[in-house]
Chains A and B, each alone.
Chain A
Amino acid sequence: VTFEEFVYSRGAALVRFARVLTNDDDRADDLVQDVLASVLVKWRRVSKTDHPDIYVRRMIVNANRSWWRRLSNHELSVAATPDRAAGHDIAHHIVERDHHWEMIAELPVRQRAVLVLRYYEDLDDASIAEILDISRVTVRTAAMRALNTLRERHVSRLAPTPRSTQ
């Protein structure tokens, strides 16, 4: 497979993965282009690996870490979403969807990455562990914690706000 074929077939998935890692579309594009530029330089070697896709994803994970270190740029917390009026119109649906994404975005980057790789990319735990350089047990733990966190936040958001008795 040539480099061009690889980018055409896997590029979109790589960018989407980077979007979830970075939570910033522009930065994700930048990150993936940088990584692919490095990959192109050593494509002959990369293409000989058993799983170039996993290799490149791992480079993206590491590049994202390096990017954080280099710029001392920590992920911005998403501001709390104000309460919305109840309703079932399209606008409300979009707001709800955005809110769901915000809750996912608030997860630690590793948990986000595991969710994406496991439930969107359908990768097995061994591949995820290789990409993120963690053990399979850690993959399972991260997935479990991410789902639990989402459930808890969802429940707490639905729960009525206690009124003051004062």
Chain B
Amino acid sequence: MTNELDQLDQRYLESLRRRMGAPVDTLALLSGAQRRSRRLRVRSHAMRGLGGAVALAVLVAGGMGVVRAVRDGRPGAIVGGSGPTAATLHAPLPPIANGASTAASAIGTDPSLLHFAVPDLVTDSEVTTWISVDGLEGVEFRKDDRWAEVSIARSESALDGLRDWHTSSNGDPYIPGTPTVTQPSPPPDLHRSVKVGDVTGMLYSWSNPPESAGNWLYLRWQPAPGVWAQMFGSFVNFNDAQPVVDIATTLRLDTVYRCVVPFELTSTPTGARLRSCHLSLFDRDAGQGFSSVLTIGTATAELRIESSPKRAESGGSPTTTIGGHPAWVDNSNGTRLRIPTFGELGLEITGSGDYAGLPTVKGVAEGVHVATDIDDLSTWPARTIG
């Protein structure tokens, strides 16, 4: 009990305790929650039953909002409304002749670009995450009790390594500093062949643990020569794989998007290049928001720049300032510079390897230019590195 309450009439606290201490029937609470949960699931199943791919399309969000279509190297026109989750910024390139084989050679070669789309998916996902790294590109989405990710690469082995760079948490937006969730491996004996458009794919479906309500689905196929695709996800009480296959068939390889984040790096170490671009947009219980992670570097050095909406300052007196903003330095693992309020952004920049020095990290931080309005994707810089 604190002094402030000691000084207050204890009768207020007693009144509060009496109010709080009224009996609660936890059994009724549990059964009520279970009953309503069943209704929620029935509702989502009913939605799925309305029509194959269209019903499952609700899985994916305004994920198109996280990337801008590239047209002659410039951002595409804005098609949708304002705000991260409402914006639809995709303006596909004109279909490329022999597009799939053309895209195949480019997939995974430039982390600022994504060379695919899942265009039939609608815009009410709770969380959408776009990821582009060396050798891999992907989008992940969550809606209610389902989440899935679609990834493409030029080889199966690249897809096998997906978990090494997976930075989100089974459909949750990646929150800097939080542990990620390891995806389970599909049991090799629980697979069957399915048709994905004109090609044959391999579908794994299993429960893990076996008694759980959720099912894992894992589909791998070749949408075009030289391109491997994978869809992986979790679906509660969901045993019919056809809607998943239907989503997979909507994958297109004739569209290129640019990954954007709400800031631009105008000062980077010599030789550093973009190695990954990662952006989550979400609209769920905790409200709308985003988080982004860029990594730049060389073979022996890496800088990781994480952003999210600004946060409350905490953690004692600041260690330093960046552009007048209080900042905290942590040297326990490389150099981590935390700037809870950098304009409208919260930033964390971590340097490792040859970039572990504080001057390098501070130099990058001082060159961060924040978007004019972080809530309006149209103001986000077209380039991540200036």
Closest residue to B34 on the A side, CB-wise?
A40
A92 at interface by CB-CB < 8 Å: no
Interface string of A121-160 (1 = CB under 8 A from B): 0000010010001111110000110010011001000000
Q: A11-B30, A19-B20 are in contact. Are A41 and B15 (CB under 8 A)?
A: no
Interface of chain A residues 49 through 85 with chain B (CB within 8 A): 58-59, 62-63
A41–B35 CA distance with the chains assembled, in angstroms = 11
- Tell me whether chain A's interface is mostly helix, strand or loop, or mixed: helix
Residues of B participating in the A interface, judged by any CB pair closer than 8 Å: 1-2, 4-5, 8-9, 11-22, 24, 26, 29-30, 32-37, 39-41, 144-145, 169-172, 181, 212, 214, 234, 236, 285-287, 312-314
B94 to chain A, nearest CB (A): 40
Can you list 23 A-B contacts with CB-CB less than 8 angstroms, sorted by A residue number? A4-B30, A15-B24, A16-B20, A16-B21, A16-B22, A16-B24, A19-B19, A20-B16, A29-B29, A33-B32, A33-B36, A36-B37, A37-B34, A37-B35, A37-B40, A40-B33, A44-B212, A44-B214, A48-B169, A59-B285, A119-B5, A119-B16, A151-B8
Cβ of A109 within 8 Å of any chain B Cβ, yes or no, is no
- In the bound complex, how far is the Cα of B170 from the Cα of A64, in angstroms? 27
Query: Are A97 and B24 within 8 A (Cβ)?
Result: no
Contact of B41 among A41, A97, A100, A120 (CB under 8 A): A41
Given B4, B19, B236, B285, which contacts A41 in the complex, CB threshold below 8 Å?
B236
Instruction: Flag A16-58 by CB within 8 Å of B: 1 or 0 each.
Output: 1001100001000100111011111110110010000000001
Question: Contacts A20-B19, A33-B33 hold; do A104 and B12 have CB atoms under 8 A apart?
Answer: yes
Q: Is the CB of B26 within 8 A of A7?
A: yes
A59 to B284, CA, bound (A): 10
> In whole angstroms, what is the CA distance A32 to B1 when docked?
28
Q: Do the beta carbons of B285 and A62 come within 8 Å of each other? A: yes
Chain A, range 86-107, C-beta contacts under 8 Å to B: 96-98, 100-101, 103-104
Report how far A19 CA is from B236 CA in the complex, Å. Answer: 31
Say whether A100 contacts B30, CB under 8 Å: no
Name the one of A97, A115, A126, A135 contacting B11, with C-beta atoms under 8 angstroms.
A97
A74 to chain B, nearest CB (A): 20
* Nearest residue, chain B, Cβ from A48: B181
Question: Which residue on A lies nearest to B236, using beta carbons?
Answer: A41
Distance (whole angstroms) from the CB of B1 to the closest CB of chain A: 7
Q: A-B pairs with the 10 shortest C-beta distances? A: A135-B312, A37-B36, A36-B33, A100-B15, A12-B24, A40-B37, A37-B37, A33-B32, A11-B26, A16-B20
